[in-house]
Amino acid sequence: MLVIFLRALILYVVVFLVIRLMGKRELSKVQPFELAIIILIADLASGPMSSRAITIFDGIIPIVTLLIAYILFTFFIQSSDKAQNLLCGKISILIQDGKINEDEMKKLQYTVADLMEQLREKDVFKIQDVKYAILETNGKLNVIKNSDKVNNIPLNIIENGFIAEVNIKILGMSEEDVEKLIKKHNLKQEDILLGTIDEDKNFLYQLKDIKLEVIK
């Protein structure tokens, strides 16, 4: 009994540390590859906890391996927009100017019933009231209504050095427009952590690797 207790305690600590190292993101906002790793970690930990036939290292080693895989995946995502699209998927516009994008719906295996359910959760009951309905990579639907006056909504055009394709489309901009704007400010796209067009059409940005002072 004591052995089982100690094994469970050790594995709990290992799983806790691994999940802690993976960050503080809400479970509802994890990407598919992150969810797969979390499920596998839970499964790997349960075996050594319940069976003495499985050594504790048979659980710990695969769990640590998954942590390393997570770190590598995260590195690839941050260094390449192609890797980000492959591992996390792309943001999709499901409704534009009150019309459903059928091709995008079919590609995502997303039904009209799914869409309407999520719209109702946003207090939207007619698609004609929707300027844009955007499906995030984590499955969350964000809605911009016609009444929101999209031209007055601040939108990010660069995130972690990558152009936010959906947002520039909403703003009526092209990638060339973004490149000209970056050049105008004597910046490099890959150096920009976050670039935003605010409600007054100003370009606000923060560069990467800015050290913040700790207020004491």
Domains of the chain: 2-87 (no CATH), 90-148 (3.30.240.20), 151-207 (3.30.240.20)
DSSP-H helix ranges across the chain: 2-21, 32-50, 57-79, 81-88, 102-107, 112-121, 165-170, 175-184
For the stretch 49-67, pLDDT in tens is 777 778 888 888 999 998 8
Q: pLDDT confidence of 192, banded at 50, 70, 90?
A: very high
The tokens describing 135, both together, are 């499906």
On the question of pLDDT at 100 being above 90, the answer is: yes
Collapsing DSSP states into helix, strand and coil, what is residue 127? helix
Output the pLDDT for position 216.
Answer: 43
How many CB atoms neighbour CB 35 within 10 A?
12
pLDDT digits (tens, 9 = 90+) for 119-139: 999 889 999 999 889 888 778
Q: Which of 74-83, 103-112, 172-181, 184-193 has the lowest mean pLDDT?
A: 74-83
CA-CA distance, 215 to 197, in Å (whole number)? 29
